[in-house]
């Protein structure tokens, strides 16, 4: 294996992962709104049409229910579709197909029909796109048995999760945070295998655990840096797979630090952060040195103006303050 390092963006990572998948298996095809001629609304599938042709890079009409349903049908029929839903808000139009068909078919048919479908969805806020284009519904989807939920938060994961998802015989939803697209990082030239069964410690620490995923990971890492300067050693756990949750890794970091801050871009009530917090209190109550703290999006439709949008979303400052407070460094949050 070559250890050559190259720099690329999250967007290029996604692109390379997809391109490799399309090259590797003729059964794989991509469909979604504007994935072809337009090159993908986030330019992820740019130049794919020329390389793979219109049969395997399919522009669909604005019919989320039909093209997600068709993805399910195609998967049942032996193809290996990757469906792109431009943004998570549009996925609501396909919710029936995702839940009532993709997630249910295997069990409902007594184990006869599995649905090996990959759905890629742009998620998250931060680009002043206002109330209908800024959701984070991945925690919602993580509520549903029968599907796997991935949230790549690094360039390497963005690149490698497609291949990993294609090894799954079940429906896999990949939530790609739109604020990460231009993030750059150094990665190995030849993509290593990405193991989607486990969460990953992105930074070791002793005093407290910042548990997060997706678009909030860079914020957590930045907060950890700042905390370090105040003498607080924060461990950062990237969940990576939101369903099924890697319980063991969550418990392990809490066992180690005894303190937890969960950062989740979803709305707080009934969120993924609620679930993680509940699991910690169920399984690690006795080692907790302080109550779990949750930093989530304020419970409001995301507003358009930048200052209000920023105020609504989890911020680095909130994370730092929470960390200091947990360590008794007298900060009000």
The residues of the shown chain that bind other proteins, judged by CB under 8 A, are 29, 55, 58, 60-61, 63, 65-81, 96-97, 100-101, 105-114, 116, 145-146, 148, 167-170
Is 174 in contact with 123 (CB distance < 8 Å)?
Answer: no
Q: Which is nearer to other proteins, 71 or 124 (CB)?
A: 71
Q: Closest approach of Cβ 21 to other proteins, in Å?
A: 15
Instruction: Out of 12, 33, 64, 318, pick the active-site residue.
Output: 64
Q: Closest approach of Cβ 27 to other proteins, in Å?
A: 9
The answer to whether the bond into 244 is cis (omega within 30° of 0) is yes
Sign (positive/negative) of CA torsion 73, 76, 77, 81?
positive
Q: Which three-class secondary structure string do you get for 157-203?
A: HHHHHHHHHHCCCCCEEEEEEHHHCCCEEEEECCCCCCCCCCCEEEE
Q: Closest approach of Cβ 147 to other proteins, in Å?
A: 8
Sign (positive/negative) of CA torsion 169, 37, 194, 208?
negative
Is 22 in contact with 30 (CB distance < 8 Å)?
Answer: yes
Q: Closest approach of Cβ 149 to other proteins, in Å?
A: 12
For 130, other C-beta atoms within 10 Å of its C-beta total 14
Q: Specify whether 309 is catalytic.
A: no
Q: Which is nearer to other proteins, 61 or 328 (CB)?
A: 61
Q: Closest approach of Cβ 245 to other proteins, in Å?
A: 14
Q: Which is nearer to other proteins, 39 or 81 (CB)?
A: 81
Q: Which is nearer to other proteins, 75 or 324 (CB)?
A: 75
Supply the DSSP symbol for 225: H
Instruction: Out of 33, 84, 133, 275, pick the active-site residue.
Output: 133
Q: Specify whether 84 is catalytic.
A: no
Is 23 in contact with 197 (CB distance < 8 Å)?
Answer: no
Q: Which is nearer to other proteins, 68 or 181 (CB)?
A: 68
Query: Which of 89, 94, 92 is CA-nearest to residue 31?
Result: 94
Tell me the C-alpha distance between 194 and 216, whole Å: 20
For residue 209, the Cα-to-chain-centroid distance in whole angstroms is 19
Residues noted as catalytic: 64, 133
């Amino acid at each position: 294996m070559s250890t050559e390092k190259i720099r690329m963006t999250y967007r290029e990572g996604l692109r390379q992962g997809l391109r490799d998948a399309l090259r590797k298996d003729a059964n794989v095809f991509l469909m979604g709104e504007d994935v072809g001629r337009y090159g993908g609304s986030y330019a992820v599938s740019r130049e794919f049409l020329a390389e793979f042709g219109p049969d395997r890079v399919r522009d669909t009409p604005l019919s989320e229910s039909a093209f997600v349903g068709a993805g399910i049908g195609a998967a049942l029929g032996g193809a290996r579709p990757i469906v792109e839903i431009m943004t998570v808000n549009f996925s609501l139009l396909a919710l029936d197909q995702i839940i009532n068909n993709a997630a249910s078919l295997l069990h409902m048919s007594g184990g006869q029909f599995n649905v090996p479908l990959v759905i890629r969805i742009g998620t998250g806020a931060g680009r002043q796109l206002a109330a209908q284009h800024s959701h984070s519904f991945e925690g919602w989807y993580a509520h549903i048995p029968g599907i796997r939920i991935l949230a790549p938060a690094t360039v390497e994961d963005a690149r490698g999760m497609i291949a990993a998802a294609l090894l799954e015989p079940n429906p896999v939803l990949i939530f790609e945070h739109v604020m990460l697209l231009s993030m750059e990082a150094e990665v190995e030239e030849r993509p290593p295998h990405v193991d989607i069964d486990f969460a990953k410690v992105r930074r070791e620490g002793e005093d407290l655990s910042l548990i997060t995923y997706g678009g909030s990971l860079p914020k957590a890492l930045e907060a950890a840096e700042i905390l370090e300067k105040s003498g607080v050693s924060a461990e950062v756990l990237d969940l990576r797979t939101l369903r099924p949750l890697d319980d063991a890794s969550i418990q392990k970091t809490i066992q180690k630090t005894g303190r937890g801050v969960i950062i989740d871009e979803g709305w707080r009530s009934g969120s993924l952060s609620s679930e993680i917090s509940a699991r910690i209190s169920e399984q690690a109550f006795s080692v907790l040195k302080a109550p779990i703290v949750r930093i989530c999006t304020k419970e409001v439709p995301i507003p358009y103006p930048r200052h209000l949008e920023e105020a609504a979303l989890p911020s680095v400052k909130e994370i730092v303050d929470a960390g200091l407070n947990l360590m008794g460094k007298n900060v009000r949050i």
